[in-house]
Amino acid sequence: MRLIDSHCHLDDKQFDGDREAVVERARAAGVETLLAIGTGDGPPDLECAVRLAEQYPFFYATIGVHPHEARKASAETFDRMRALAKHEKVLAIGEIGLDYHYDFSPRETQREVFAAQLELAAEARLPIVIHTREAWEDTLAAIRAAGRLPVQGIMHCFTGGREQARQALDLGFLLAFGGVVTFPKAEELREAARFTPADRLLVETDCPYLAPVPHRGKRNEPAYMVETAKRLAAVLGEDAETVAETTTRNFETLFAARLKP
């Protein structure tokens, strides 16, 4: 099975003791490419994912300010992002968006920083990776208000239902399904997966968070994505190899401009 983890946080401190072993297990499980998400602990460090992408040839990176850290953003933050957006292994701006669950940053600040990053992504002609939690309508409104959308994007860790899937798909997004699709009570999410066209599907871990069944409650890691792919395949009435091939092709198509052969 050939898989791509479209969203992982392997810079997280939870991997400090065994990061190399985690990467080796991922590769052994068939995870050939990983997209490291470059939000980390927020500004001023915007390069946590870039460092991984420079260390491993099969890693790529995003850059961005997570809504939790929006209060830390400054004019210098956006200047540095513009420079990093030219890095050959930076594939997207993300994860960016709005999070009204924790409100670690004031909502108005979140909206301002999100809008600025949407504009930056459009300038750089890079896709976006969206984080949205308890802020769906405001997130979509901000994307629509941006006027000129970036080059497609990903709804990371999609957990909505069929109607939210339709809204995201209408805006041109791909939907990334993670470990939540394996949870027993996530039938609404599984219905959204059935509704999603095959060419808009991605898989991810969001590790170290949201480990799939049977690893739920443990630290998540990319090797566990095999379980997510198998469950998604069962939901879609496909075999796991087909889902792996489809989601890998979708990732490679979305990021074709910068992926190395």
Number of structural domains the chain divides into: 1
Residue 13 lies in a domain: yes
Percent of the chain's residues with pLDDT above 90: 95
CA distance 221 to 211: 7
| Reported pTM | 0.96
Residue 259 lies in a domain: no
Residue 260 lies in a domain: no
Structure confidence at residue 149 (pLDDT) = 63
CATH of the domain at 112: 3.20.20.140
Asked if pLDDT for residue 166 goes beyond 80, the answer is yes
Structure confidence at residue 151 (pLDDT) = 60
CA distance 184 to 249: 28
Mean pLDDT, the chain, integer: 96
Residue 261 lies in a domain: no
Structure confidence at residue 69 (pLDDT) = 98
Q: How far is CA 150 from CA 18, 92, 130, in A?
A: 36, 10, 12
Nearest to 258 by CA among 58, 91, 68, 54: 91
The tens digit of pLDDT for each residue in 53-71 reads 999 999 999 999 999 999 9
Residue 169 is part of which domain span?
3-254
Angle of CA points 141, 195, 193, to nearest 5°? 90
The tens digit of pLDDT for each residue in 203-261 reads 999 999 999 999 999 999 999 999 999 999 999 999 999 999 999 999 999 999 888 77
Structure confidence at residue 147 (pLDDT) = 73
Asked if pLDDT for residue 150 goes beyond 60, the answer is no
Residue 10 lies in a domain: yes
Residue 156 lies in a domain: yes
Which band of pLDDT confidence, cut at 50, 70 and 90, is reported for residue 152?
Answer: confident
Provide the b/e sequence for 128-147 (b: ≥16 CB within 10 Å).
bbbbbbebbebbbebbeebe
Asked if pLDDT for residue 177 goes beyond 60, the answer is yes
Q: What is the DSSP letter of 118?
A: H
Asked if pLDDT for residue 148 goes beyond 90, the answer is no
Structure confidence at residue 260 (pLDDT) = 77
